[in-house]
Homo-oligomer: A and B are copies of this chain.
Amino acid sequence: MTTTHRSPALTAANVEAAVEALRERGLRVSAARRLVLEALYGAEGPLSAERIAEGLEGRLPRSDLASVYRNLETLEEVGLVRHVHLGHGPGLYALAAPEHEYLACESCHAVRSVAREELDGIRAQVREQFGYEARFTHFPLVGLCPNCLAESEGHAHP
């Protein structure tokens, strides 16, 4: 719900550039493919395949969820799209371009997205302590958000 996500404006130019990248790889630019891409360019935050499919209804003679999944997969292979798994619920898809990583709240399920660099400090510490290179792109950093933390911490009012 709460998502600080800035995606590039949905401009013909942006979509056209992406489409060009597809053509260069020998992939075809079907109406469905293009619309999936547009949905992601126009989105405020990451979208589920289901939601994207809903958006296609009407804008396309017939559309189906399986194709949306296949397109998302393809777009991901090409590097245009990325997906996250935010706790329960379906996987969510977003443009790969703005290098976002995610913080999710275990309690209220709010998701905050932050620029990659904002997690550099934490990544450094994880690397130092465990030798792991932490990644919060496919799976978020999970915890209690400030709100839920305050609620659980202070006043345990009846």
Q: Which A residues form the contact surface with B (CB < 8 A)? A: 87, 103, 105-106, 112, 114, 118, 121-122, 125-126, 129-136, 138-146, 149
> Which residues in B have their C-beta under 8 angstroms from that of A118?
129
Residue in B105, B122, B135 whose CB lies within 8 Å of A142: B135
Cα of A149 to Cα of B136 in the assembled complex, Å: 15
Q: Are A131 and B106 in contact (CB under 8 A)?
A: no
Cα of A135 to Cα of B107 in the assembled complex, Å: 11
Interface of A is mostly: mixed
Complex A-B: 16 CB contacts under 8 Å? A103-B130, A106-B135, A106-B139, A112-B130, A118-B129, A122-B129, A125-B125, A126-B143, A131-B145, A133-B143, A133-B144, A133-B149, A134-B141, A134-B142, A136-B142, A141-B141
> Which residues in B have their C-beta under 8 angstroms from that of A130?
103, 112, 114, 146
Residue in B125, B144, B145, B146 whose CB lies within 8 Å of A122: B125
